[in-house]
Amino acid sequence: MTWPFSDRAATVPELLAERVGMRMKGGGGRVSRDRALRHSAVWACLRLRADLISTMPVDVFRRVGGVQVEQAKPPVMITPGGKEVRWMQHMYSSQWDLDSVGNSVGVITAVDGLGLPARVELANMDEVTFIGKGSKITKVKIGQTTYDYSQIWHEKQFTVSGVPIGLSPIAYAAMGLNSALSAMEFAAEWFSNSTVPGGHLKNTAKTLKRAEAARVKESFKAAVSTGDVWVSGNDWTYDMLSAKASEAQFLETQRASVLDVCRYLGVPGDMIDAELQSGAVTYANITQRNLQLLIMNIGPAISRREEAISGGWLPQPRYIKLNTSALLRMDIKSRYEAHKVAIDSRIYPPSRALDMENMAPLTPEEKAEFAELFPNKAATPALQGSTT
């Protein structure tokens, strides 16, 4: 594949359109991100991925003597865009951009003493223009302002070699989306009676001239639009017209397009309540379902974001981790069984389990209650809060 830059500027939609030849012919037009978001499956997939990734707790670590040690978060990890834009909002917006157009761009408006970003203000991707030559981006234009590429924070996903921007799944799905969106737009026009006639009013006794037909039409519309009674002779019939495409065929097209959207955006169809032709997908429990979602769908995106932010925002060898355990929430029975296994295996002490359950440490009185209930276990490590 060759990169379309040749000492020129191009917006993200223009570049992506050139890359995949998505100039639509006919009435459909090209599928823009704004137009694609009118498809409920596109919105649902993007929302689900952004919701999950943005709400995962984030921690900063470094290794000391081979041991992972937690570090204090720099201010940019708490309020990336200043006090107006905190971490979750930044992650939600940037993940939405990454999943919809393959890129997220922000202006670095402040740096710390090490020259690392201290404030990143995300840009509207619809206003971003990349300027470059060959396979290099030299400048980025946002609206009417041009920035040197060194002033820009740029994350990307769905990359291919030789291309300095990420690819857009919506651009590549444009053919399928265009079909679905055209179907929806036709339906909207049909039901508003602007695509084809809404009915046929016919005089069975004689052929009307154009002027007579216009007068009858106006009289009929004036009465029907206000809910009034329309009076005519015995020679008039009114027939409702049928849609050009049958309702069954339209629904079948919609169902197929939803599953295509899910495949492009990396979300299992059943996670957004898409109807599956093969029937419902069943899992042993919710934890197993979420584990599949994490491993197969959003896990790679999480790893890419961890690598990008660790390498661009933190002094080395510090790195970040998004805590995926928030996604793997289990039912209470499974959680407590997991705590028991971890404590018995000396993975973590009982006090850590209490922290995970947002419970306060056991008081001396509560420990005494355990001693009375289980006299033979009063001195066990679990009750003493020790792992030795």
pLDDT in tens, 45-72: 999 999 999 999 999 999 998 888 999 9
Q: DSSP per residue over 307-359, as a string?
A: HHHHHHHS-TT-EEEE-GGGTT---HHHHHHHHHHHHHTTSS-HHHHHHHTT-
Q: Is residue 34 within a helix (H) or strand (E), and if so which, with residue range? A: helix 33-36
The answer to whether residue 102 scores a pLDDT higher than 70 is: yes
Tell me what pLDDT residue 161 has. 83
Q: Is the pLDDT confidence value at 337 over 90?
A: no
Which of helix, strand or coil describes residue 226?
coil
Average pLDDT score over residue span 330-347: 83
Could you count the other beta carbons within 10 Å of the beta carbon of residue 121? 17
Both structure tokens of 313: 């925002």
| pLDDT at residue 362, as a whole number | 84
Per-residue pLDDT averaged across 368-374, rounded? 83
Q: Cα dihedral angle (287, 293, 298, 303), rounded to 10 degrees?
A: 50
Span 202-217, average pLDDT: 74
90 pLDDT band, cuts 50/70/90, is: very high
Reference 169, options 271, 252, 97; nearest CA is 97
For residue 274, give the nearest of 28, 35, 48, 34 by alpha carbon. Answer: 48
- Counts of helices then strands in the chain (DSSP H, E): 14, 12
- Cβ contacts of 277 within 8 Å, gap of 6 or more: 255
Cβ atoms of 107 and 123 within 8 Å: the answer is yes
pTM (predicted TM-score): 0.68
For residue range 275-333, what is the model confidence (pLDDT) as tens digits? 666 555 556 667 777 888 888 899 999 999 999 999 999 999 999 999 887 677 666 77
> How distant is the alpha carbon of residue 286 from its chain centre?
21
CA distances to 218, 228, 229 from 225, in Å: 10, 8, 10
Which position has the higher pLDDT, 215 or 43? Answer: 43
pLDDT, tens digit, 9 for 90 and up, residues 110-135: 999 999 999 999 999 888 888 887 77
Contact 33, 170 (CB under 8 A): yes
